[in-house]
Structure 1
Amino acid sequence: MRYSRQANHGKASPDDNKLARSSALGLSASKRRRASNDDALEDALHEYYQQWHGVPYRYGGRDQNGIDCSSFVRQTLGTIESLDLPRTTSEQAVRGEPVDRSELSPGDLVFFKTGRSGRHVGVYVGNGRFMHASSSKGVTISRLDNIYWRRHYWQSRRVTSAPR
């Protein structure tokens, strides 16, 4: 199932209770729709993660025998949002639009500089966490405020459709 970050065009939300709560908090209709879409996307990302949790890291890997970070991100957003991302981290790092770290939404890409030329990518899943293929832990969820990831954070990007 594809979870869009776009408005749901008047259709009923999958979770009207969350929308009602956000309405009571004074959020605009467009922000309520985005929050509802983010909740659905966050749920989909966690479901997808359960299928991949613990799969070992393998440079150049593309399946459950071993996968690298950019392939994991490519497959995740290809499956969940029908996005066709490039294969490498460096190509993914120039796709979409930059997004401030304080404005991250589920499905955004988070990038790290892990060495002189080393780059790493993951998918933001909400609540300050991202899922990725870690070279030491395999597919896992980590916190952006972890001392290692905080120190190596580079940029975030939002990719909502294929480039024209």
Structure 2
Amino acid sequence: MVNSFRHVIFLACITVALGGCASSGSMQPDQSAQPRQLPPAAIEESGKAQKLWQVFERYRGAPYEYGGTSSDGFDCSGFILTAYQEGLGKQLPRTTSQMLASGDVVHPGEIQPGDVVFFRIGGKEQHAGIYMGGDRFIHASTSTGVSQSSISGYYWKGRLTQARRFD
């Protein structure tokens, strides 16, 4: 009984921690969306990716904070907004739902470093990150703050729904 209760508590904590950014907006998901794999050399050759990695390194480990847009705390869209502003000099919409409504749709096989990737969590697209190539994306996670993750990792696999390019 105690182990069962601990298991339920553990699952509840994981669900809350990995809940992602809350955002409204409903786009039709493409559950088959998987980015093409780039070799590590391709990541290094992308000037856009290099600039975004520099911003990531500056904020790596910053805590998650709903509505946050600074090193004191970021939510997922706040981190993307800041990374694009600081790394690329570009202004993006503030929320994931606004990002989903703008930018250019990128077909799954054409995702490139710097594209914003969206994930379905809890029945709606409410988490986003920046694809960096080589199966990696950077984001502000509720459980680990600003970090990098594998799109094909345990939690994220099958949740990628679409990508947008903001050139």
Length-normalised TM-score, structure 1? 0.71
Instruction: Measure, in 1, the Cα distance between the counterparts of 2:163 and 2:151.
Output: 11
**1:62/1:147 CA distance change after superposition, 3 Å:** same
CA distance in 2, matches of 1:56, 1:125: 21
Give the 3 Å change call, closer, same or farther, for CA 151–36 of structure 1 in structure 2.
Answer: closer
Superposed displacement of residue 122, structure 1: 0.4
**Corresponding position of 1:140:** 147
| Aligned counterpart, 1:19 | none
Counterpart in 2 of 1:60? 67
Match in the other structure for 1:40: 47
TM-score scaled by structure 2? 0.70
Q: Does 1:131 align with 2:124?
A: no
Please report the RMSD computed on the Cα atoms of aligned residues, expressed in angstroms. Answer: 1.8
Alignment deviations for residues 84-105 of structure 1 (CA, whole Å, 9 cap, x no partner)? 1111110011211111222111
Q: From the superposition, tell whether residues 129 and 36 of structure 1 become closer, same or farther in structure 2 (CA, over 3 Å).
A: closer
1:69-97 per-position Cα deviation (integer Å, ceiling 9, x unaligned): 00100111122222211111100112111
Same amino acid, percent of matched pairs: 37
**Correspondence 1:88 to 2:95:** yes
Cα distance in 1 between the residues matched to 2:114 and 2:86: 12
Measured in 2, the distance between the counterparts of 1:152 and 1:81 equals 27
Could you give the per-residue CA deviations for residues 102-160 of structure 1, whole angstroms, max 9, x where no partner exists?
Answer: 21111100001111345101011111111000000100011111132122111101111
Aligned equivalent of 1:103, options 92, 110, 129: 110
User: Counterparts of 1:38 and 1:77 in 2: how far apart (Å)?
Assistant: 18
> 5+ unaligned residues in a row in structure 2: which ranges?
1-41
Distance 1:73 1:39, change over 3 A: same
Question: In 1, Cα distance between the equivalents of 2:116 and 2:69?
Answer: 18
Aligned residues between the structures: 126
Equivalent in the alignment of 1:18: none
Distance 1:88 1:97, change over 3 A: same
Amino acid at match of 2:77: S
67, 74, 77: which one aligns with 2:81: 74
Q: Counterpart amino acid of 1:81? A: L
Q: Structure 1 unaligned runs (5+)? A: 1-34
Distance 1:156 1:36 in 2: 18
Aligned to 1:157, the other structure's residue is in SS state: strand
* SS state at 1:151 partner: coil
- Once superposed, which parts of structure 1, at least 4 consecutive aligned residues long, lie more than 2 Å away? 35-38
